[in-house]
Chain A
């Protein structure tokens, strides 16, 4: 089994890298199209007399760098420092994270907020149940619950409460709340997968499904703008 695992790692490392780079490239393209369509550079040009092209490039760079930091941070914070770890979080990130509009980030108070929160549904349908099952898998072998999980769950709850006085923060709360839940899910998954020696096929199916979801999300994202 160990040999198969080693072989699996050698074969799949370049594939992980290729897929991750593709996801990042396509989403950077999507971010660029979104901010151009929403006129972020133009906003700075008109309001603060900055050069539009420079502001466009700066916005792209800032958004792209932030996205990469968001992608890599959980792998570093939870000590799953491998390409596989980053790839796994990348799949979860692109599969579940809501879109955060650039125009909204500049002017959140003017945002429309038809619904109290958008992404709670996916959290309760998939992210939290998956986390519970992985927590149960780990609990059979070792101490499963970490203090930081409680902290992240508390952060989600506080963010949700923040919506009561400031409903226009909905997009930001959706984004941050989902991110916190995904961090917990990611760490639980990585810990559980270390305990699962014979689940290569199941992991392959799980991440195969998530990759398809990412492709779907990226198609939708790039087709909107």
Chain B
């Protein structure tokens, strides 16, 4: 075994240890927060106010919920399932779903090492606007973390095709795209329509610019997610609820969007812009070497991600209120963009690898401190 291999193994071991520590702290943070607020209400059959007992109760609740409160039937159905399982079950599921979300981001960005996994997992906590309400709180976790998982699973085959139109289709994609299309579209008011529009956009881009005839799963997936997102928006409960809430004026709406953009999403937005500057520099250098004209270029995948960020943020202009936890989905797109561009510039280059490692350490420390702050009640 030579020195490089040994160093590689040491690095892997360090990343594994760091990851185990982070996930353990995450689990403790979940254990420290019992079911609170909406969790308690959703633990009951919403139609009868009796505690949840079986799937029939959940179904009844969701029908009542759709007609009287809001359109997120799929997400809240999943929430009630986890609530029915009890706190320990919910905490374990939450940690698994966070890991799944990290895994999906790694798949989309083609990150294959433990360091990549650690970086993404740390970023999900470090850049999060409100860890307590979007990850640790059961209702928040299901609404944002779980829904992000199925949105990314839904977008995965589309993005594979976008990156390489000649890529073989995924196994049984015709079958599993149906539930995931519905789940993604019917997730929440900003991420549902965004995922539907992205799927439609990718299908259209491939058909028009790459002359690739859309496959059946692409059309059914796009259609189902579109139907899902229409269903989440047109739920009678949404209108019933908004009729009793005072609608904000222009200034309140402007301030709410400004707060979300430059406060809650600030670290994510800065990460995206600064990594773009680094990319411009990198391209500049390689074009100078090749005597090529200096034009900054973005791939279709980059553009789709940027569109995802803008659409999911912009969609909230229609909402009367933009809470910090609702920026989670937009943050996930920012993280994918950041990691993708960082990984592209990595390319086995020692210097760039050092940058990735330095950033991983920085975000890891931030994630750990924030989780510890949540555990000690100082978050």
**Interface size classification for chain B:** 35 or more
Are A206 and B266 in contact, with the CB atoms below 8 A? no
Whether A137 is near chain B, meaning CB under 8 Å from some CB there, is yes
Are A133 and B378 in contact, with the CB atoms below 8 A? no
Contact indicator per residue, chain A 111-143, by CB within 8 Å of chain B (1) or not (0): 000111000111011101110111011011000
Cα–Cα, bound, A206→B276 (Å): 10
- Which of B262, B276, B351 sits near A212, CB closer than 8 Å? B262
Are B269 and A124 in contact, with the CB atoms below 8 A? no
Whether A195 is near chain B, meaning CB under 8 Å from some CB there, is yes
Considering the complex, give the chain B residue whose CB is closest to the CB of A137. Answer: B281
Whether A196 is near chain B, meaning CB under 8 Å from some CB there, is yes
Whether B114 is near chain A, meaning CB under 8 Å from some CB there, is no
A residues in contact with B270, CB < 8 Å: 126, 130, 206, 209
Cα–Cα, bound, A115→B374 (Å): 12
Are A133 and B285 in contact, with the CB atoms below 8 A? no
The answer to whether A133 and B355 touch (CB under 8 A), given A121-B370, A196-B277, A196-B280, is: yes
A residues in contact with B373, CB < 8 Å: 115
Are B126 and A134 in contact, with the CB atoms below 8 A? no
For A114, A136, A213, A219, the residue with the greatest tally of chain B CB atoms inside 10 Å of its CB is A136
Cα–Cα, bound, A134→B281 (Å): 10
Whether A202 is near chain B, meaning CB under 8 Å from some CB there, is yes
The answer to whether A209 and B273 touch (CB under 8 A), given A133-B355, A197-B294, is: yes
Whether B267 is near chain A, meaning CB under 8 Å from some CB there, is yes
Cα–Cα, bound, A155→B352 (Å): 28
Contact indicator per residue, chain B 275-316, by CB within 8 Å of chain A (1) or not (0): 111101100110000000010100000000000000000000
Q: B residues within 8 Å of A by Cβ?
A: 126-127, 255, 258-259, 261-263, 266-267, 269-271, 273-278, 280-281, 284-285, 294, 296, 351-352, 354-355, 358-359, 362-363, 365-366, 369-370, 373, 378
Considering the complex, give the chain B residue whose CB is closest to the CB of A124. Answer: B366
Considering the complex, give the chain B residue whose CB is closest to the CB of A195. Answer: B281
A residues in contact with B262, CB < 8 Å: 209, 212-213, 216
Are B263 and A216 in contact, with the CB atoms below 8 A? yes
Are B126 and A212 in contact, with the CB atoms below 8 A? no
Are B284 and A216 in contact, with the CB atoms below 8 A? no
Are A202 and B276 in contact, with the CB atoms below 8 A? yes
Are B274 and A219 in contact, with the CB atoms below 8 A? no
B residues in contact with A120, CB < 8 Å: 369
Are B369 and A206 in contact, with the CB atoms below 8 A? no
- Which of B266, B269, B278, B284 sits near A136, CB closer than 8 Å? B278
> Considering the complex of A and B, which 5 residue pairs feature the smallest CB-CB distances, nearest first?
A124-B366, A125-B267, A213-B262, A136-B355, A126-B267
CB distance from B129 to the nearest CB of A (A): 10
B residues in contact with A192, CB < 8 Å: 277, 281
Are A140 and B355 in contact, with the CB atoms below 8 A? no
Are A133 and B362 in contact, with the CB atoms below 8 A? no
Are A198 and B294 in contact, with the CB atoms below 8 A? yes
The answer to whether A116 and B127 touch (CB under 8 A), given A196-B281, A198-B294, A206-B273, is: no
Whether A215 is near chain B, meaning CB under 8 Å from some CB there, is yes
Given contacts A129-B363, A196-B277, 13 further A-B pairs with CB under 8 A are: A114-B378, A124-B126, A129-B271, A129-B359, A132-B359, A133-B359, A140-B285, A192-B277, A197-B284, A198-B296, A199-B281, A199-B296, A212-B261
CB distance from A74 to the nearest CB of B (A): 19
CB distance from B378 to the nearest CB of A (A): 5
B residues in contact with A195, CB < 8 Å: 281
B residues in contact with A105, CB < 8 Å: none
The answer to whether A125 and B127 touch (CB under 8 A), given A140-B285, A199-B277, is: yes
16 contacts between A and B (CB under 8 A): A124-B369, A125-B126, A126-B267, A130-B270, A133-B355, A136-B278, A136-B354, A140-B351, A196-B277, A198-B284, A202-B280, A206-B274, A209-B273, A212-B261, A216-B259, A216-B263
Considering the complex, give the chain B residue whose CB is closest to the CB of A212. Answer: B262
B residues in contact with A196, CB < 8 Å: 277, 280-281, 284
B residues in contact with A124, CB < 8 Å: 126, 362-363, 365-366, 369
Cα–Cα, bound, A198→B126 (Å): 31
Are B255 and A219 in contact, with the CB atoms below 8 A? yes
- A residues 153-203 near B (Cβ < 8 Å) are 192, 195-199, 202-203
Cα–Cα, bound, A195→B269 (Å): 22
B residues in contact with A114, CB < 8 Å: 378
A residues in contact with B369, CB < 8 Å: 120-121, 124
CB distance from A141 to the nearest CB of B (A): 9
CB distance from A198 to the nearest CB of B (A): 5
Are A115 and B378 in contact, with the CB atoms below 8 A? yes
Cα–Cα, bound, A216→B266 (Å): 12
CB distance from B332 to the nearest CB of A (A): 16
Are A121 and B366 in contact, with the CB atoms below 8 A? yes
- Which of B259, B261, B263, B358 sits near A132, CB closer than 8 Å? B358
Whether A109 is near chain B, meaning CB under 8 Å from some CB there, is no
For B263, B269, B273, the residue with the greatest tally of chain A CB atoms inside 10 Å of its CB is B273
Are A132 and B355 in contact, with the CB atoms below 8 A? yes
Whether A205 is near chain B, meaning CB under 8 Å from some CB there, is yes
- Which of B266, B276, B352, B370 sits near A213, CB closer than 8 Å? B266
Are B273 and A134 in contact, with the CB atoms below 8 A? no
B residues in contact with A209, CB < 8 Å: 262, 269-270, 273
